[in-house]
Amino acid sequence: MKKKLWSILAILGFSTIMAHAQQWTPEEQLELFGYCEKGILMKELGISEETANKIGQINYWATLQKLKIEANTNDTFATANEVNQEVLKKYKALSITGDRAKGLISRMNATGCAITQIRHIKTYDTLTKVQLVAAYKSKFRKKLMDQLGVNGRQADMIIDAEAWKQKESLVVAQIAESDFNRIRKAVLLNKEYNKKLLLIDLTEQQKSQAVEFFIQNQL
């Protein structure tokens, strides 16, 4: 369910994070790996969390080496390609070779994923949460019930969770896009929102539809 939920959120785009991806420190890039690529690689490659963590550490090492090359302070490697060749050897030690290993290098500095983003709708900024809930119920409650096949209680809980997310997104949006804390706050927000959806007695499909509903329907 989570994979499908995040894939729906992913359609919101990655422009904000992509614009700032290259300015993150190696430590922040490693943290970003933990939020995004780590879980993806565990599923795609069928590897353990321990192996995924090792890949993250290899990537972190490679980033440090490439930064030293840029600063002309690397006494071991002269080019980024030399670093990549060493990375391939380290991947091989984890039984990751060939195209899979080359693919990991191309994704080494991933720019982000759905969980690191927010969907901030500025037109909602002037509304309190109570007002937003009331507006959602007035315009979308019946439509939500019909489309998702949920009862009134479930629709109200979905609406409350969405209104909460929108008001919290406003708080996160005040953090500069160049500040990595914006990503950290976005991750916490999205995880909490997902918990709220899990508390509602919904099917896997209904959970995904609830997210999609408010992407497609706005006040």
What pLDDT is recorded for position 19? 42
At 212, the amino acid letter reads E
Helix (H) or strand (E) holding 198: helix 181-198
Q: Which tens digits make up the pLDDT trace of 47-63?
A: 999 999 999 999 999 99
User: What is residue 193's predicted lDDT score, i.e. its pLDDT?
Assistant: 95
Q: How confident is the model at residue 109 (pLDDT cuts 50, 70, 90)?
A: confident
Q: For the chain, what percent of residues have pLDDT higher than 90?
A: 85
Supply the pTM of this predicted model.
0.82
| Of 106, 214, 98, nearest in space to 155 by CA | 214
Give residues with Cβ within 8 angstroms of 132, minimum separation 6.
124, 163, 166, 167
pLDDT at 129: 96
Low-confidence winner among 4-18, 143-157, 185-199 (lowest mean pLDDT): 4-18
Task: Please give the average per-residue pLDDT across 93-99, as a whole number.
Answer: 95
CB of 94 closer than 8 Å to CB of 51: yes
State both tokens at 137. 């119920």
pLDDT of residue 199: 94
Give pLDDT, residue 16: 40
Cβ–Cβ < 8 Å for 39, 7: no
pLDDT at 6: 44
User: pLDDT grade, residue 106 (50/70/90)?
Assistant: confident
What are residue 198's phi and psi, to 5 degrees?
-65, -25
Best mean pLDDT range from 2-16, 104-118, 167-181: 167-181
Helix (H) / strand (E) containing 110? none
pLDDT digits (tens, 9 = 90+) for 137-190: 999 999 999 999 999 999 999 999 999 999 999 999 999 999 999 999 999 999
Query: Of 23 and 125, which is predicted with more confidence?
Result: 125
Phi and psi at 31, nearest 5°, equal -65, -40
* Spatial CB neighbours of 96, under 8 Å, sequence gap ≥ 6: 45, 47, 55, 104
* C-alpha to C-alpha distance for 154 and 141, rounded to whole angstroms: 10
So what's the pLDDT on residue 61?
97
Q: Band of the pLDDT at 78, cuts 50, 70, 90? A: very high
CA–CA separation, 190 vs 118, rounded Å? Answer: 8
The arithmetic mean of pLDDT across residues 114-143, rounded, is 95
